[in-house]
Structure 1
Amino acid sequence: MVNLSVGICDDDPKCHRKIMEICEKHFTDNGIACEIFSYYSGEEVINEHDNHIDLLFLDVEMEGIDGLRVMHKAEDMQNIHSIVFVSAHAEAVWDSFGYKTRGFLQKPVDEKKICKCLDQAYERKKNDSFIDFPNYNGSIFYKKSDIVYVKSDSNYAILYLGNNEKIITCTLKECEKKLGGMPFLRVHRSYIVNLNHIKNITGETVCFKDGSAIRIGRSYREKVRKGYNDYLLGELKK
């Protein structure tokens, strides 16, 4: 069974309590195993290192470190997967774009919209499937979300999994077929990247959250820009 972890960061006790009650009821009604973590300031979130959070409901306006600063800090936090902003000011949506942002809800919060965000987070986690790749000993399984990028190495390929590298005995073209499209995108004749691990694209370079970078192949540049923009728009519409 998939266990979903939800964080709520809002310094307004009334709104905080309402979001929590909606989450608890939705999980109970749908038989979903869950954990809910409460934070009442941005400082509490950026100092959270022990708990994994699949979805963080984040207030924009808070004293001290506000939600937008938390969003930028969260870019380097591996334990926070996605963010849905909550604000009384609709215009704040224009400042809330980030690669972990999955939505924007206006206060007073709507129960149906909260539940939709929860369902989408649950589906994302449930569909994070494993792929089997051939290696020297037969085959081995890796989680799609753990793959940062794949590099061609003659008739073989190298999977980059954060701090680990694994050689697999198939070509980059065969890898591309196995990965099955978005969020994986070919950016060079020698590289396929996972867009979920990208921090941004600047000029002709793909920059990753871990600080590494890959140059985009000349013939791939237009396709990469369009693919990345479509990916970001698709994530915001979910």
Structure 2
Amino acid sequence: MLKIAVYSEEKVMSPLLQEYMGIWQRDAGCVCAVRYYDNVHAIMVDMDLEGIYDVVVVYRSWDVADVLKKDRRVGSLVMIAAGINRRLYDIQPCYILYEPVNAANFKKVMTMAVEGSRDERRFTFVSGRVRYSVDSRSIMYFESELRRINLVTTEQKYVFYGSIGEMEKRMKVGYGGFIRPHESYLVNPDHVSRCTAHEMILTNGKSIHISATRRADVKRYYNELINC
């Protein structure tokens, strides 16, 4: 079941958003778990307890949209705005809906947002009973540490339980391109700045050793595009 949050500090707008949400669910033929908020602390607490929302709709509150977008537990963000605002660039990517809002344009944007939340490029996982969703293109590497996986993105690090073998199989389906230079690492080659016969240097400066048993696979993967 899709989890959707709707945020509006304008009490007169909340009933209208509830009406449009009901129309969209009816016409789309889906039943969603929808919660309505007028306080950013409340929605953050719920995300801490229950994890990611597949879609979050924010009415006019640019600061709230910015906070939620940076939290990394929002699948798709829909911003309802009175007009063009320079703050839009701070919360990209998002789905924008300019006022006046009606049932037709609300349905159109919600449909696109739901499809975007299911984008195969997003990698979803559970850490500390909280569900996260990150853009797979931002993932730099996975590192195995006993029964834990360290997931390092361009922005931050996450830790969850799993095996590097499971991650390798999973990343081959829908994500593609990840390579395993060492028993303990799975690397996104888009974030490799240099590769030699013995190590990969990532764009953040980290060096990952290429094991002897993996060297041929690494060289075959790059197919001489990189001096490896």
**Which TM-score tier does this pair reach, normalised by the shorter chain?**
0.5 to 0.7
Say if 2:25 and 2:32, in contact at 8 Å, map to a contact too: yes
Root-mean-square deviation (CA, aligned residues, Å) is 4.3
SS in 1 for 2:80: strand
Say if 2:69 and 2:91, in contact at 8 Å, map to a contact too: no
Output the CA distance in 2 between the equivalents of 1:111 and 1:82.
19
Task: Write out aligned runs for 1:173-212 (5 A).
Answer: 178-181=172-175, 191-193=186-188, 204-205=203-204
| Residue of structure 2 in register with 1:168 after alignment | 165
Output the CA distance in 2 between the equivalents of 1:169 and 1:55.
28
Say if 2:75 and 2:117, in contact at 8 Å, map to a contact too: no
Q: Which amino acid aligns with 1:59?
A: Y
Q: Which amino acid aligns with 1:41?
A: N
TM-fit CA distance, 1:57: 0.8
Q: Which amino acid aligns with 1:85?
A: M
Output the CA distance in 1 between the equivalents of 2:43 and 2:34.
13
| Residue of structure 2 in register with 1:107 after alignment | 99
Say if 1:10 and 1:59, in contact at 8 Å, map to a contact too: yes
Output the CA distance in 2 between the equivalents of 1:128 and 1:194.
18
Output the CA distance in 2 between the equivalents of 1:84 and 1:105.
7
Output the CA distance in 1 between the equivalents of 2:189 and 2:11.
38
Output the CA distance in 2 between the equivalents of 1:32 and 1:151.
35
Q: Which amino acid aligns with 1:116?
A: K
Q: Which amino acid aligns with 1:102?
A: C
1:6 pairs, out of 4, 16, 19, with: 4
Cα deviation 1:205-234 (Å, max 9, x = unaligned): 3xxxxxxxx7499xxxxxxxxxxxxxxxxx
Distance 1:103-1:123 versus aligned 2 partners, 3 A rule: closer
In the alignment, does 2:85 pair up with 1:85? no
Identity across aligned pairs (percent)? 12
Q: Which amino acid aligns with 2:85?
A: E
Distance 1:166-1:188 versus aligned 2 partners, 3 A rule: closer
In the alignment, does 2:53 pair up with 1:58? no
Where do 5+ consecutive residues of structure 2 fail to align?
A: 126-135, 152-158, 191-201, 209-228
In the alignment, does 2:31 pair up with 1:33? yes
TM-score with structure 2 setting the length: 0.55
Q: Which amino acid aligns with 1:145?
A: T
In the alignment, does 2:18 pair up with 1:20? yes
1:94 pairs, out of 88, 99, 104, with: 88
TM-score with structure 1 setting the length: 0.53
Where do 5+ consecutive residues of structure 1 fail to align?
A: 62-66, 130-142, 196-202, 206-213, 218-238
Output the CA distance in 1 between the equivalents of 2:165 and 2:179.
20
Output the CA distance in 1 between the equivalents of 2:79 and 2:166.
43
Output the CA distance in 2 between the equivalents of 1:103 and 1:4.
17
SS in 2 for 1:75: helix
2:70 pairs, out of 58, 64, 75, with: 75
SS in 1 for 2:27: helix
Output the CA distance in 1 between the equivalents of 2:37 and 2:3.
13
Say if 2:58 and 2:80, in contact at 8 Å, map to a contact too: yes
Say if 1:68 and 1:95, in contact at 8 Å, map to a contact too: no
Output the CA distance in 2 between the equivalents of 1:150 and 1:37.
34
Output the CA distance in 1 between the equivalents of 2:112 and 2:39.
25
| Residue of structure 1 in register with 2:124 after alignment | 145
TM-fit CA distance, 1:4: 1.5
Runs of 4+ in structure 1 displaced over 4 angstroms? Answer: 124-129, 147-153, 158-161, 184-191, 214-217
